[in-house]
Amino acid sequence: MRLPRKRRADRTGNTDDTCSPEHMDGPERTRRPTGRAKRHRRAAARKARRPLIDFPRRGRRGWRRWTPSWKLTSGLFLLFSGALAGLFTAVYMRVEIPNPHDSASRQATVYYWADGSRMVSVGDVNRQDVKLSQVPDSVQHAVVAAENADFYSDSGVSVTGIGRAAVNIVKGKETQGGSTITQQYVKNTYLSQDQTVQRKVKELFLSLKVSRQQPKTEILEGYLNTSWFGRDAYGVQAASYAYYGIPAKELNPSQGALLAAVLKGAESFDPSLSADNHQRAEDRWSWILDRQVDTGSMSAEERAKYTEFPEPKPPVKPTSQAGQIGYLVDIVNKYLKSRSGITDKDLAGGGYSVHTTFEKDKVLALTKAVEQVRADRLDPTKRTEDQYVQVGAASIRPKDGAIVAVYGGSDAIEHFTNNADTSGVPAASAFKPFVYAAALEKEFEGRERSAEGADTDPLKPRPPGSPVASTASIDLHSALVNSDHTPFVETGKKIGLKKVKELAVASGLREESMAKLEPTFSIGTSTPSAVRLASAYTAFVNQGRATEPYSVSKVERNGVAVDGLGQTKPRRAMSPEAASTVGAALRQVSWSTVGPPKGQGTYSPSWAGKTGPNDRMNSAWFIGATEELSTSVAMFRTKPDVSPLLPMQGVGGPDSQRGSAFPPLIWKAYNEVAAPAPPYPADGPQDRP
């Protein structure tokens, strides 16, 4: 008799009409589910219930649970790529090519005197458009080879260049480089010069569209007519006149390569601006010619013809910058570039209001003082030694470092080099005070700072009356007054020339103007500018504190102030004791040179350094510093196209002491007008030597 079947439910919930195991016999026992079958059933059930996005991943443990599958990764990538492509297409379709800039809408950059009155307006656009057919093929090839070798085959953009520029913007770095000719043309013609990610993105889409809608020849023509070449020149035609005095159609391949070189940045590649610029320009000029051979636009045989660098003519200032105005603008522009990042191209683009520290009456007084001494004491028609004499001078307000006046030369249009702000004239004995101060600092090291609880505020004057005199300081005092070199040479060796250099640089002299650390270093082989030497001497009237010279008090563009300008905080250059001790010696130098106050006139304590009869260098200096003004005057001889300075022997006649008699006369004539001293105290001067 067979027993009835029993319904059983397996673990999945399914029922199975089978007999209970104890009643099963024969083959029917094999119908029981195995472990493998059960696992397959469970996996099938999980798969049926798995979500569309399996993350975090089910059935995984540890870090594997949080690792996306390749299916999820590839799906998300395709989704992102599709969305990006759609967005790119939508933006591209919406971007329209705007109207080109109207060059007549460019604003001038206006410079103002310290009192707010207008000094000069600069920035009228110097540009004359020419057809591409008027630009020699060799010039076109040079520009393409230097800027964008695959210009004729590219899509108009360099994605890697834009990405690199965007990263640099985020990091606060410069963004130049990497743009195609089309991108640069679009920026020059349709966009602003702002270095922002938004402007770069707009440049990308406009460049793509322009490249599709305009022929490459039209783009190249526009680029050559809108690019900045320096020397206030926009476009290749204006640049050709500015550098070579000829129209663009007359440029030869060598000259064209030089113009292509300055496209990279006239501030660094205009060969007339400095020796370093000349070397950079010559290297890039040669590279561009070689590059044309590499790209197939010039044969090696033709390249071999151009071995001599095509020297451009000297820069010419516009007539509005005649006299001293051009030198003042030059100093301001250098300051703006060093402190705010504003470039010559930005300034030429216009829209800036630049408020300077220059005081008109002092500039006129300094100019008059120089011209008066030259007229009275020099006669180039009778003495050949009086030919090629140059004067540079600068006057600085010690309390804050403001440059109030400079004399850069006879006329900025005729003599382009700014004598007031140019390194190259040895300081000679005018450098000795820094050696004296360094020697005193060596004596003072650790004297008060080692005292427990001492006030070590570096800007707080130390108590007067502490002993500072020593045999060494007395010897240097006499040597400074008598223009004796030997004690300074020996002192430099003793205390270390590096220490002297560090103090001079801390006082305001530039590192790059310092000479080699040789024994003669202590007697003035370094070549600071008149501006820097006048600034450094302010430490002797500021209790050892130095203030960085500045020439701009405020700059605005379209009503928005530019940051990073104006005076800086004073820094400690030497101790108050050293400044006072050296100052006493310099005061004696001053009175022995320009004379002490006379009778019941005015009383003006001053500190002065000068070159003397024992100096054999080709320069003459006088630096006089009072609490009101620190003024340096340099005289030297230089002939155009001759690098070494000419000798000063015989300048102004046999009694001029190698010309060193004239700078004190200029200083005195200027100072009597610019900084008249107060009357004597009732009991007369108290600190005459």
Read off the amino acid at residue 210. Answer: V
pTM: 0.69
State residue 480's pLDDT score. 86
Which residue did the predictor score with more confidence, 582 or 84?
582
The whole-number pLDDT of residue 369 equals 97
Q: Looking at the domain assignment, is residue 686 inside a domain? A: no
Residue 545 lies in a domain: no
Query: Would you say residue 136 has pLDDT above 60?
Result: yes
Give the pLDDT band (50/70/90) at residue 164.
Answer: low
User: Which two three-digit tokens encode residue 269?
Assistant: 């590649």
pLDDT at 496 over 70: yes
Say how far apart CA 474 and CA 614 lie, in whole Å. 20
Is the pLDDT assigned to residue 507 strictly greater than 90? yes
Residues 437-445 have a mean pLDDT of: 88
Of the chain, the end-to-end C-alpha distance in Å amounts to: 147
pLDDT at 500 over 90: yes
How does residue 574 score in pLDDT terms, banded at 50, 70 and 90? very high
**Is the model more confident about 75 or about 436?**
436
Distance of CA 224 to the CA centre of its chain: 26
Three-class SS of residue 556? strand
Range name among 4-18, 291-305, 358-372 with the lowest pLDDT average: 4-18
* DSSP assigned state of 653: S
- 3-state SS of 25-73 is CHHHHHHCCCHHHHHHHHHHHHHHHCCCCCCCCCCCCHHHHHCCCHHHH
Q: Of 76, 42, 46, 36, whose CA–CA distance to 57 is shortest?
A: 46
* SS3 of residue 571 by DSSP: strand
Whether 234 maps to a domain, the answer reads yes
- State pLDDT tens for residues 19-64: 454 445 554 455 556 667 766 676 666 555 556 566 666 666 677 6
**CA 625 – CA 534 distance, rounded (Å):** 8
Whether 56 is covered by a domain: the verdict is no
How confident is residue 653, by pLDDT bands cut at 50, 70 and 90? Answer: confident
- Beta-bridge partner residues of 38: none
Count other Cβ atoms within 10 Å, centred on residue 138: 20
Domain presence at residue 211: yes
Q: Is residue 68 part of a domain?
A: no
Task: Identify whether the C-beta of residue 398 lies closer than 8 Å to the C-beta of residue 445.
Answer: no
* Residue 310 resides in a domain: yes
Note the maximum CA span of the chain: 155
Query: Where in the sequence is the domain holding 231, given as residue range(s)?
Result: 135-316
Give CA–CA dist 607/645, Å, rounded.
28
Instruction: Tell me whether residue 149 is in a domain.
Output: yes
pLDDT averaged over every residue in the chain: 80
pLDDT, greater one: 648 or 85: 648
Query: What's the rounded Cα separation, in Å, for the pair 282 and 658?
Result: 38
Which pLDDT value is given to residue 464?
A: 41
**Average of pLDDT values for 121-129?**
74
Give the integer Cα–Cα distance in Å for 135 and 132: 5
Q: What is the pLDDT of residues 89-119, one digit of tens each?
A: 555 455 555 555 555 446 678 899 999 998 9
Confidence of residue 403 (pLDDT cuts 50, 70, 90): very high
Looking at 296-339, list the stretches that DSSP marks H as alpha helix, in order from N- to C-terminal side: 300-303, 325-339
Report how many domains make up the chain. 1
Report d(CA 327, CA 408) in Å as an integer. Answer: 6
pLDDT for residue 363: 97
Residue identified by tokens 């030869």 is: 252
Which CATH number belongs to the domain containing residue 304 in this structure? 1.10.3810.10
